[in-house]
Structure formats: C-alpha cells, structure tokens
Amino acid sequence: MFERLSSGVAVTFTLLVLSNPASAAEAALNGADTAWILTSTALVLFMTLPGLALFYGGLVRANNVLSVLMHCFAIACLASILWLIGGYALAFGDGGSLQAWIGGAEKWFLLGIGPNVLSGSIPEILFVMFQMTFAIITPALIVGAYVERIKFSAVMVFSGLWLFLVYAPVCHWVWGGGWLAGLGVMDFAGGIVVHVTAGSSALLLAKMLGGRRGFPKDLRPPHNPGMTMIGAAMLWVGWFGFNAGSALAANGSASMAMLVTHISAAAGALTWAILEQWRFGKSSLIGIVTGMVAGLATITPASGFVGPLGALCIGVTAGVVCHFAVGWVKQKIQIDDSLDVFAVHGVGGGLGTLLTAFFAAASLGGVGLAEGTSMGQQFGVQLIGVVAVLVWSVAISYIIVKAVDTMVGLRVEEEDEIVGLDLIAHGERGYDL
C-alpha cells in the first residue's frame, strides 16, 4: 500500500495510525482475505452439516439413519461449545514453558479476542471460527467407526473428552507452534491433525466396541446409496474451504490448493471405480464416492505444497492404497470399522503426509522444501509426525474408551441393536413406510 503513496501522504497516514489503534487494526485487515475465510468457514461447516451426515447416513441400515444424523449434528453442537470454552486456547494459546506440548489458559472463553484483534490479515475471531469447524468435523469423522451399535451418551462423552485430550494437543503440536512445528513437519490442512487422529482413534474404538451383529459375513448393504452420493458431493464442494481456506488468504496458494484438491478427488474416484471393475466386474456408486473421499483426505496435508502433477499422482495412489486398506481392515484383521474411517481417512491422511515430502519438491512442481532440506530428511520428519500422532491418538483414545465404558457404558443391548438406534435412542423413524 505504501508503495502507491507519496512519502508525505505515507508519513501522515502513519501518524494517524499511531494515534488511533483501532485504525491500525483496520489498516492491517485485508478485506479479500477476510471474505474468503468467511466463505471457507461456511464451506467447512457444510462438510459436516449436512455433507458428512448424509454421506454416513446413506451407508447404514434404514432403522439407524436418524441416529447417524443425530451423532453428527450433536457433535457439531458439543464441539462448538467446547472450542469456545477451552479448545481454542489449548490448541493455539501460548503455553509458556509447556509451549512445545500444549497451549495456555489465557484465551479460555475467548477472553480478550475482540473484533479488532487480528491474526495475520484477518480478525482472530474469524480464525477461531474457521478452526472451530475443523474441531467439529474431526470427531464427527469417527462416527463412521461405531454406527448402529453405540449408546448416544457414549458418543457425546467420548467426543468431548477426545476433543480436549487428543485433537487439541495434536493441533497445537502442528499448527500452534508445538514440537512438530519446530521439527518442520508439513501439514497444510490436516492430514495429521484431522485424518490421522480421527482414523487411528476410530480403528481403536471399533476394535474395543466389537463388530455389528453378523459381522463380518452377514451385513446388510447401504440402505440409500443416493443419499451417500449427495453427501459426498457436499463434501467435495466443502473441501475447497477445508484445503484452500487453510492458506488463510485469497491468493495464489489458495488457488493452487483448490485445484490440486479437485484433481486428487477426481483421480481417487476414477481409480477406485477402475479397481472395482477389474476386481468385481462392476463399478459401484458407493465405490466411486469413497475413492473421491480417499483422494480428498490424501491431498489434504499436501494441498498447499504440491502442484497439479503431484495431485494427480497422490489421487491415484490414494485410490489404490485406500481401496485395498478397506479389505485389509475388515477381512484380514477383522475389525468392524463400519464405514472405513481408518482405511480412508487414517491411511489416506498418513499416506498424503508422507508423499508431501516428495511432491512438494520444486523439481516435481511443488513449492519447494525448506532450504538445505532433502526429500529424505523431510520424509523422516513427516514419518515422525505420523507415527507420534498415531501412537498418541491410540493410547489416549484407549484411556478415554475405558473411562466412558465405566461412566455410561459403550454398547447397546443386542435386542436394541436389532430394533435399531433410531427408535431405541431417539424415539423416531427415518422412514414411515
């Protein structure tokens, strides 16, 4: 701005700013950046409500559809309040001597964060809201692991404790100036923070909860693939806010993040459909939309660092690896991760985080690695991040599950599972036929 002003006007402007702190805040605010993050925030919330809710809802039996919608909606409400109370402070506050591990308490209840307080070029209160939508969708992703057999009270207690004890610390490690940020880990929009945490915790919870009645041989197919496709389409659109919004600015980085997100989703979807045609003779609607989500999850950590070629390669790799991971979880180790949270999000997020070390290189069309850092060195940092967060998520989730089981119990009775959670837990039916 000053480059376009004469020196006399610039001096006058500077004096006015110094005499009026409110004007200083307004001068530093970037309207375009603010408008884009306002839009991105709405897009990310759109991913959970209604995107993820419909995506998961179509995959279960007809007598459990409302329970899945209820889980997603209630978690969104709970996470919002907890983020206000202390989640944001733990993730992004100043932890003092504990800064490497956790944030401080000075921003609990968002005290001191007014409309004129800035975070970069946007209001900090907008940054709070943008990050809140991430805190909403991450525990909501875990819903897919325990559908059709868990108590509603257990969902709420687990999700609240998990947000504080798993998500907030990991978010601080990577994005809040914690120890992984100090190592130089690259996670643009949540491959580690969102997908590895949710995916690994989901697998652990599914294992401890046990499989649905009839697992693994006698399970009903998704009751409404059309609903799932509609939810998937909403996820695809909302993911632009998730990834491109993480640039926190309306600039070229956001534009490239949007493009590579789209390319990876398309490549993952087509790859999954081709694999199904090759293996089973038919490409399913459920398969192609699952491949799309795999492509989105896998590009997430890399989205601000790679170019179109990297996105194409990442999407294809996601389609192949996540496709076979689904069979490995359910058939090989026989864990009823019902809607494939670990295979798609956990595996995809971890895979994308590791691939970032290679495709971020300028020679492959990326933005380049830190000066003096080789692909091998960056890969080592990425691997440390994935393994550390996976171990933390599983260990803390195990403690949380044990505590929840003691407090309210985990699983509904077998008879309740037969009737379905819509009537048992909520007294409603999804369909009156």
Residue 199 tokens read as 């995916």
Per-residue pLDDT, 216: 87
Residue with the bigger pLDDT between 221 and 2: it is 221
Question: For 62-77, what is each residue's pLDDT tens digit?
Answer: 999 999 999 999 999 9
Residue 289, classified by CB atoms within 10 Å of its CB into exposed (0-12), middle (13-18) or buried (19+), is buried
Residue 253 tokens read as 């980085």
Question: For 175-212, what is each residue's pLDDT tens digit?
Answer: 999 999 999 999 999 999 999 999 999 999 999 999 99
Per-residue pLDDT, 365: 95
**Among residues 319, 318, 340, which one has the least CA distance to residue 273?**
319
Per-residue pLDDT, 14: 36
**Among residues 239, 258, 262, 260, which one has the least CA distance to residue 250?**
258
Question: For 214-257, what is each residue's pLDDT tens digit?
Answer: 898 888 899 999 999 999 999 999 999 999 999 999 999 999 99
Element (H, E) at 123: strand 122-123
Helical pair 225-243 and 285-299, crossing angle rounded to 10 deg: 10
Q: What is the DSSP letter of 298?
A: H
Whether the predicted pLDDT of 270 surpasses 70: yes
Per-residue pLDDT, 395: 98
Percent of the chain with pLDDT over 70: 94
What lies within 8 Å, CB to CB, of 331 at 6+ separation is 216
Question: Which one-letter amino acid corresponds to residue 126?
Answer: L
pLDDT band per the 50, 70, 90 thresholds, residue 16 = very low
Question: For 388-404, what is each residue's pLDDT tens digit?
Answer: 999 999 999 999 999 99
The Cα–Cα gap between 73 and 106 comes to: 29
Q: Virtual CA dihedral for 122, 117, 172, 178, nearest 10 degrees?
A: 100
Q: Virtual CA dihedral for 407, 412, 413, 414, nearest 10 degrees?
A: -150
CA distance between the termini of the chain: 64
Residue with the bigger pLDDT between 123 and 12: it is 123
Whether the predicted pLDDT of 97 surpasses 60: yes
Whether the predicted pLDDT of 20 surpasses 50: no
Per-residue pLDDT, 219: 84
Give the residue-averaged pLDDT of 14-42.
70
**Mean pLDDT, the chain, integer:** 93
Per-residue pLDDT, 386: 98
Per-residue pLDDT, 432: 85
Domains assigned to the chain: 29-426 (1.10.3430.10)
